Amino acid sequence: MVHCSAFSDLLESMARSGRSRGRPLAPISATPEQLTDLQAWARSAVDPSLALRARIVLRCLEGLTNLEVANKEGVTSVTVGKWRRRFRTLGPCGLRDAPRSGGPRIIDDERVAEVVRLTLEVPPPDANRWTTRSLGQRVGVSHATVGRIWREHQLKPEHMPRD
C-alpha cells in the first residue's frame, strides 16, 4: 500500500482548521415554535421513531456534523442526512412517517370500538370468554381481524377475570 504523506498532511490540516471532508452541509434553521415542537417530540415516549428524528434534527441545529450526530444517536450518517434533508425541505412535518402503500382501511373505527367493547364488557352468551371466531361472527369481521384488534389494544381475553 502506498502512503501519500501529502494527503495525510492535508487531512491533518483540515482537522486542525475545523473543516470537514466531503460536501459542505446545507444549513438548517428552525423558528422558536418549531424548536418547541422538536424539544417536546424528542422527550416523547409515545412515538420513539419521531423522538429519535427530533433529537437528530436538534443536534443538527446545534451545528454538529452528520457523523457527530450519528455517533451520539447510534445511527448512521446516512440516516442523519436523510432527516436533515427532510427537515430542511418539509419542516417538522417531514419528520413524521410518510403514508405507506397498501389498500385502504376496510374496517372503520366504530367496528373496532365494538370489538373492544364486547371483549371487555359483554361475555358471550354460550361461553366464559370470547374467541376470535365467535366475536368475529358476532361483529361481522374475520377472526384474523379480531386477533389484530386484540393485539393492537393488548387485549388477552384468556387472562381477563370473569364474574
Q: What is the pLDDT of residues 139-162, one digit of tens each?
A: 999 999 999 999 988 888 776 665
The rounded distance, in Å, linking the Cα atoms of 5 and 3 is 6
Q: Would the pLDDT of 86 be above 80?
A: yes
Amino acid identity of 72? K
Backbone dihedral region for residue 122 (phi beyond 0: left; psi -120 to 50: alpha; all else: beta): beta
pLDDT band at 101 (very low <50, low <70, confident <90, very high): confident
Same domain for 134 and 87? no
pLDDT band at 77 (very low <50, low <70, confident <90, very high): very high
Residue at 6 is within a domain: no
Residue at 149 is within a domain: yes
Whole-number pLDDT of residue 155: 87
Is residue 57 classed exposed, middle or buried when 0-12, 13-18 and 19+ CB atoms within 10 A define those classes?
Answer: buried
Same domain for 128 and 85? no
Whole-number pLDDT of residue 7: 55
pLDDT band at 1 (very low <50, low <70, confident <90, very high): very low
Q: Number of structural domains, the chain?
A: 2
Query: Domain range spanning residue 62?
Result: 27-95
Same domain for 65 and 90? yes
Residue at 117 is within a domain: yes
Chain segment 10-19, per-residue pLDDT in tens: 556 655 555 5
Whole-number pLDDT of residue 160: 67
Same domain for 155 and 123? yes
The rounded distance, in Å, linking the Cα atoms of 163 and 161 is 7
pTM (predicted TM-score): 0.53
Same domain for 56 and 91? yes
Residue at 18 is within a domain: no
Residue at 3 is within a domain: no
Q: What is the DSSP letter of 63?
A: T
Q: Would the pLDDT of 133 be above 80?
A: yes
Chain segment 45-73, per-residue pLDDT in tens: 778 899 999 999 999 999 999 999 999 99
